[in-house]
Amino acid sequence: MLPTFSQSAFLGARLLMSTPQTSRRHFLKTTGIAAFGTALAAQIVPRVHAAGDNTIQIALVGCGGRGNGAIRDALNTKSGPTKLVAMGDVFEDRVVNSRNALRDHFGEEQIDVPDDRFFHGFDCYKKAMDCLKPGDVVILATSPAFRPPHVEYAVEKGLHIFMEKPFAVDSPGTRRIAAAAKKADEKNLKLACGLMWRHCKARQAVIERIHNGEIGDVLHLRGFRMHGPYWGGPVGKPDNEIAYQIRNFHYFDWVGGNIFIDYCIHNIDVACWAKGAWPVRAMGMGGRTDYVPGTGYDTYYTEFEFADGTHLTSHGRYNAGCYTQYSDFAHGTKGSAVIMDNLGGANTRIYKNHNMTDANLTWRFSEPEPNPYQREQDLFFEAIRNGQKYNEGHRAADANFASLLSRAAINSGQIVTWEQVVNSNVELFPGGIDSITWDSKPPVLSDENGNYPIAIPGKGGAV
């Protein structure tokens, strides 16, 4: 029987005390304008109905940078009219700032969110979705700890779903996503996920060529996300520890998953797409070079192994003043491929050997590269309007498991198998995220010096 993983295998033994700027999806800035725990008075939630046209109505749950980027793209789709009719976030100030900025950009006709369809608090997702009717759309863009119950409720309500990545912070949550995706199939609901590079035409073109054998059998894949720190300091003060950690979710594994997962799930997903397989085991290592207030590292390395014995190496580093690289490569028996050149453009290419010079170039994607963020929303809304099958939830769950495999290997210092991670019952928020309140005790607390515990490899691994 395979061993299971204890809490310490994912968070590590407690000792010392992780890092996020806004991604390029950032659309709106948020500032604190309300106390952490403000809640709306109980109210009857109004349901909105379109006035006999083909307008798709949308609720936005999670009003930070990613949520605002996703709703912007959804409102910019051209397959038919769209309208935002309800909004929710655990923090009131985020909903206020988001609504104001969206109205400034799109106008009140498309941002039709009066005060009685404007919610905050931990139950905001239910109130926002209750404003919709079956067949409408919800965009789920909160921190990933909350994604599983939000997706489940959306499927129960008969809503089409766009969910941002990552999709859960632990294996039980990821299994909930997989189960909800299965129910979405049964109800013919469309489920899109935020792994937008799958919709990049340049990547699609090079991976089709890889699958057709142009570089031979794939032996090795490499993924890099190495750059300076993306964020300044943590937001706010820990007057309420739960609120503080949720606001700074990238720093805390239980609510954000881990910065490496958040960033490198894209690279891992694309590499496994190119290989046509998910890994069977992994080993890894990581560390911290600077003080970062949270539970993670700033340097990560994982070596994944596939069933045929070939490997994917994944590299993450977020330090100032160091060599930077943000790219993906594939190496085969007949040549090599650039799957991503840099964040500004994939610029995919194929070479006749592993010396990637112009003299060895055999193919380059030469068409314009459409914005993959916009393209993923265009395809999602077209599928809704045309009644096409569209469910990315299954591979989203697999990509999440692959990323959790990486974190488990790094944090534990052990070789970890796919089966161990998929079957793990470790919950990073013991007792269940569904019952969280402002008075809940976080699973990690700082010591008297303000330092949070980090994973110590070799201390409390597989048991």
What pLDDT was estimated at residue 229? 83
Q: How many CB atoms lie within 10 A of CB 156?
A: 12
Residue that wins the pLDDT comparison between 288 and 58: 58
* Bridge partner list, 84: 58, 111
Q: Where does 345-412 have alpha helices with state H?
A: 372-386, 393-412
**pLDDT tens digits for range 368-414:** 999 999 999 999 999 999 999 999 999 999 999 999 999 999 999 99
Q: Is the pLDDT of residue 424 over 70?
A: yes
Q: Tell me which architecture the domain covering 21-196+376-391 has in CATH.
A: 3-Layer(aba) Sandwich (3.40)
Please report, in angstroms and rounded to a whole number, the separation of the first and last CA atoms in the chain: 12
Q: Which of these CATH numbers, 3.30.360.10, 3.90.1150.10, 3.10.690.10, 2.50.20.10, describes 198-372+402-435?
A: 3.30.360.10
Give the domain ranges of the chain.
Answer: 21-196+376-391, 198-372+402-435
Q: Is the pLDDT of residue 34 over 50?
A: no
Average pLDDT over residues 28-38: 32
Q: Which residues of 123-147 are buried (b: 16+ CB within 10 A; e: fewer)?
A: ebbbbbbbbbeeebbbbbbbbbbbb
Parallel, antiparallel or unpaired: strands 311-318 and 218-227: parallel
| pLDDT band, residue 1 (cuts 50/70/90) | very low
What pLDDT was estimated at residue 29? 34
pTM of the predicted protein model: 0.89
What pLDDT was estimated at residue 260? 87
**pLDDT tens digits for range 159-186:** 999 999 999 999 999 999 999 999 999 9
What pLDDT was estimated at residue 24? 36
The CA-based angle 126-257-173, given to 5 degrees, is 50
One fold for 21-196+376-391 and 198-372+402-435: no
Residue that wins the pLDDT comparison between 49 and 130: 130
Q: Is the pLDDT of residue 31 over 80?
A: no
| pLDDT band, residue 460 (cuts 50/70/90) | low
What pLDDT was estimated at residue 290? 72
Average pLDDT value over all residues in the chain: 88
What pLDDT was estimated at residue 25? 42
Q: What span, in angstroms and rounded, lies between the C-alpha atoms of 215 and 207?
A: 10
Radius of gyration of the chain (CA): 22
* Bridge partner list, 160: 137
Q: What span, in angstroms and rounded, lies between the C-alpha atoms of 417 and 281?
A: 4
- In this structure, what are the phi and psi dihedrals at residue 10, rounded to the nearest 5 degrees? -100, -35
Q: Which segment of 47-51, 221-225, 346-350 scores lowest on mean pLDDT?
A: 47-51
Cis before residue 3, ω within 30 degrees of 0? no
Which residues 6+ apart lie within 8 Å of 253 measured at CB? 10, 11, 169, 295, 296, 407, 428
- Tokens, residue 357: 């010079």
Q: Is the pLDDT of residue 443 over 90?
A: yes
Average pLDDT over residues 223-246: 82
Average pLDDT over residues 438-456: 91
Which residues 6+ apart lie within 8 Å of 62 measured at CB? 88, 89, 139, 140, 141, 142, 143, 164
